[in-house]
A and B are shown apart, each in its own frame.
Chain A
Amino acid sequence: MDFKTFFIKKVMMSFFVSITCISAAMAVIGMIFEPNTRFGYEVFLSPFFFGALASLPLLVKYSKKELSFKQTVIRNVIHFVLLEVGIMSFLYFGEMLTSISKAISLGVSIFIIDLTVYLVLWMNDERTAKEFNNALKRLQNDYGADE
């Protein structure tokens, strides 16, 4: 896969899924920890910003050659660490992480979001496999393939 295809298919897809999940996480965490805080319109931009921050570490997964299972797992772990470190560092230095409980719940949220992205990608591949398998059976029936 060339870099352009990788960027559009993987990074951009992750970006948009992340935006959706970050918006939901912001709402839930906000309602729990600071239910009375009110924001201006500019807050709508933050999911885009954090979406980019969450998607850019995906670049670590790019490889011209096909990765083995082990290499894929290692890069997934590196990606997750980069994700956690990147977002937590940004919030910490921006003095937005004010308590341990907030840091923990944010860390868990990032983990769940990351997992959700993998789940969505997996479900997409599952759908492709199902379509393929149905078409394969039709093709085999048409040509009288033996069982």
Chain B
Amino acid sequence: MKVYIKQISDIANECLIIECVEVTPDVESIRSYALTKGTTLTGSMDEQIYQFNLSDVFYFEAIDERVFAYTKNKSYELKIRLYELETAYSDKHFIRCSKSFVINLMKLDSISPALNGRFTAHMKNGEKIIISRHYVPEMKRAVLGGK
């Protein structure tokens, strides 16, 4: 696929146009990724497409190659990989805490020790997520380093 970048002066007119013969999952993935670059995300729930604020997301979870975003009361399936979310939103206080979870530090209430050098993340909605010991130093750097 050819990629063209054209610089314009008005930020309000910024847009991404994909010209394709068929809307494949890859194209959907690019579309979803582009949409998530703003402050809103696009996800599906009960075969309906919804837009929701990134700041409302408590955490992202990967289950069997599928990625879900969890807000206070709802969960949406996203067409994007967990590592892409982690990379895209690391500057928005989203951080990987285990192989399957990326959590929103702004929605984290506290952490407490668990067995074997691991910690438990207590989210503000009352859910508990295990922080893998592998990701503990990175989380400490992100919070204690003032990132």
- Give the B-binding residues of A (Cβ under 8 A): 1, 61, 66-67, 69, 72-73, 122, 125-126, 128-129, 131-133, 135-136, 139-140, 143, 145-147
Residues of chain B contacted by A146 (CB below 8 angstroms): 106
Contact with A along B124-147 (1 / 0, CB 8 A): 100000001110000110011010
Number of cross-chain contacts by CB at 8 Å: 56
- List the B residue with the shortest CB-CB distance to A146: B106
Partner of B143, one of A67, A72, A132, A147: A132
Residues of chain A contacted by B48 (CB below 8 angstroms): none
Given A66-B118, A129-B113; A135-B144 close (CB under 8 Å): yes
A72 and B113 alpha carbons, distance in the complex (Å): 14
Residues of chain B from 93 to 142 with CB closer than 8 A to chain A in the complex: 93, 105-108, 110-119, 124, 132-134, 139-140
A147 and B123 alpha carbons, distance in the complex (Å): 11
Distance in Å: Cβ of B116 to nearest Cβ of chain A: 5
Partner of A1, one of B111, B133, B139: B133
14 A-B interface contacts by CB (under 8 A): A125-B113, A125-B117, A125-B119, A129-B113, A129-B119, A133-B110, A135-B144, A136-B108, A136-B110, A139-B93, A139-B105, A140-B105, A145-B106, A147-B124
